[in-house]
Amino acid sequence: MTAAYPYPNSPQHIGHARTYTIADVNARYHRMKGYNTLFPMGFHYTGSPLFAMAKRLREGDPEIIETFTKIYGIPKSTQEKLKDPKSMASYFRDDIKKGMVEIGFSIDWRREFTTIDPLYSRYIEWHFRTLNRKGLITRGTHPVAWCPNDKSPVGVVDTQGDVEPDIGESFLVKFERDGVFYPTSTLRPETVFGVTNLWVNPEGTYVRAKVDEESWIVSRETVERLQHQNHKVAVEREIQAPELLWKTVRNPVAGNELPIFPGSFVEPDNGTGVVMSVPGHAPYDYQALIDLKARNADSAEAGAILQSTNPISIIRVEGFSDLPAKDLIEKFGVKDQNDPHLEQATQELYSKEFHDGVMKENTGGYSGMPVAKAREAIVQELTRRGKIETLLELKNAPVVCRCGTKCLVHILENQWFINYGDSEWKKLAHKCLDQMVILPEEIRAEFNYT
Q: Give the model's pLDDT for residue 449.
A: 83
Question: Would you give the distance in Å from CA 402 to the centre of its chain?
Answer: 15
Which of 38-52, 99-113, 167-181 has the least mean pLDDT?
A: 38-52
In a domain, 143, yes or no: no
Structural domain harbouring 29: 14-116
Q: Please write the tens of the pLDDT for every residue from 424-437.
A: 999 999 999 999 99
Phi and psi at 185, nearest 5°, equal -85, 130
Closest CA to 277 of 204, 159, 194, 337: 194
The mean per-residue pLDDT over the stretch 189-213 comes to 97
Q: Give the model's pLDDT for residue 325.
A: 98
Q: Is the separation of the CB atoms in 327 and 280 below 8 Å?
A: no
Given a cut of 80, whether residue 251 has pLDDT beyond it is yes
Q: Please write the tens of the pLDDT for every residue from 333-380.
A: 999 988 999 999 999 999 999 999 999 999 999 999 999 999 999 999
The mean per-residue pLDDT over the stretch 238-242 comes to 97
Residues 384 and 282 in one domain: yes
Q: Where residue 372 sits, what CATH number does that domain have?
A: 3.90.740.10
Residues 194 and 87 in one domain: no
Given a cut of 90, whether residue 66 has pLDDT beyond it is yes
The mean per-residue pLDDT over the stretch 112-132 comes to 97
Residues 195 and 103 in one domain: no
Domain termination residue (choose one: 377, 394, 411): 394
Q: Is the separation of the CB atoms in 150 and 405 below 8 Å?
A: yes
In a domain, 415, yes or no: no
Residues 289 and 197 in one domain: yes
pTM of the predicted structure, to 2 decimals: 0.81
Q: Give the model's pLDDT for residue 8.
A: 95
Residues 205 and 286 in one domain: yes
Residues 109 and 172 in one domain: no
Residues 262 and 371 in one domain: yes
The mean per-residue pLDDT over the stretch 318-346 comes to 95
In a domain, 431, yes or no: no
Radius of gyration of the chain measured on its C-alpha atoms: 27
The count of domains in the chain is 2
Residue 302 confidence class, pLDDT cut points 50, 70, 90: confident
Q: Please write the tens of the pLDDT for every residue from 367-395.
A: 999 999 999 999 999 999 999 999 999 99
Q: Give the model's pLDDT for residue 20.
A: 97
Phi and psi at 127, nearest 5°, equal -55, -50
Rounded Cα distance between 391 and 397, Å, is 14
- Specify burial of residue 379 (Cβ count, 10 A radius: 0-12, 13-18, 19+): middle
Residues 178 and 100 in one domain: no
Rounded Cα distance between 383 and 249, Å, is 19
CA torsion through residues 213, 216, 219, 220, sign: positive
3-state SS string for the chain: CCCCCCCCCCCCCHHHHHHHHHHHHHHHHHHHCCCCCCCCCEECCCCHHHHHHHHHHHCCCHHHHHHHHHHCCCCHHHHHHCCCHHHHHHHHHHHHHHHHHHHCCCCCHHHCEECCCHHHHHHHHHHHHHHHHCCCEEEEEEEEEEECCCCEECCHHHECCCCCCCEEEEEEEEEEECCEEEEEEECCHHHHHHCCEEEECCCCEEEEEEECCEEEEEECCHHHHHHCCCCCEEEEEEEEHHHCCCCEEECCCCCCEEEEEECCCCCCCCCCCEEEECCCCCHHHHHHHHHHHHCCCCCHHHHHHHHCCCCCCCEECCCCCCCHHHHHHHHCCCCCCCCCHHHHHHHHHHHHHHHHCEECHHHHHHCCCEHHHHHHHHHHHHHHCCCEEEEEEECCCCCEECCCCECEEEEEEEEEEECCCCHHHHHHHHHHHHCCCCCCHHHHHHHHHC
Residues 94 and 218 in one domain: no
In a domain, 408, yes or no: no
Rounded Cα distance between 290 and 280, Å, is 12
Domain termination residue (choose one: 394, 411, 443): 394
Residues 228 and 369 in one domain: yes
Q: Is the separation of the CB atoms in 219 and 266 below 8 Å?
A: no
Q: Give the model's pLDDT for residue 301.
A: 83
In a domain, 384, yes or no: yes
Q: What's the mean per-residue pLDDT of the chain?
A: 95
Closest CA to 370 of 218, 378, 264, 159: 378
In a domain, 31, yes or no: yes
In a domain, 223, yes or no: yes
Pairing mode of beta strands 113-114, 42-43: parallel
Residues 79 and 181 in one domain: no
Q: Please write the tens of the pLDDT for every residue from 411-421.
A: 999 999 999 99
Rounded Cα distance between 21 and 39, Å, is 12
Q: Give the model's pLDDT for residue 297.
A: 67
Percent of the chain whose pLDDT exceeds 70:
100
In a domain, 44, yes or no: yes
Domain termination residue (choose one: 345, 364, 394): 394
Give the other-Cβ count within 10 Å of 112's Cβ: 15
Rounded Cα distance between 83 and 10, Å, is 13
Residues 199 and 70 in one domain: no
